[in-house]
């Protein structure tokens, strides 16, 4: 299944997985991690990149839980992305 603008908008509303409340983050086409704060602040760029299938660093291809990576940071802002078990 290809990640769509609708998927992104739905995921943007839920920074924590349910059930469980596990912290989530976005994954771009080049493998980078983006925090929810960055995604929210740059949602128009992300929507455009998804629609255009751009490889400009903003095309989100998924959303996942950060289970244990205590060193995961947002590629754009450098802020730490919360881990569920670290």
Which single residue is written with the structure tokens 């299938």?
A: 53
Q: How far apart are CA 49 and CA 4, in angstroms?
A: 10
Tokens encoding 58:
């903003």
Q: Mean per-residue pLDDT for 51-64?
A: 96
Q: How far apart are CA 63 and CA 22, in angstroms?
A: 12
Collapsing DSSP to helix, strand or coil, 79 comes out as coil
Predicted confidence (pLDDT) at residue 80 exceeds the cutoff of 90: yes
Give the tens place of pLDDT for each residue, 3-54: 999 999 999 999 999 889 999 999 999 999 999 999 999 999 999 999 999 9
């Amino acid at each position: 299944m290809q990640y769509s603008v609708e998927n992104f908008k739905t995921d943007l509303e839920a920074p924590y997985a349910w059930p469980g409340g596990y912290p989530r983050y976005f994954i771009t086409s080049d493998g980078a991690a983006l925090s929810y704060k960055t995604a929210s602040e740059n949602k128009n760029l992300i929507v455009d990149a998804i629609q255009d299938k751009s490889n400009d660093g903003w095309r989100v291809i998924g959303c996942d839980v950060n289970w244990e990576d205590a060193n995961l940071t947002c590629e754009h802002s450098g802020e730490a992305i919360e881990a569920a078990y670290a």
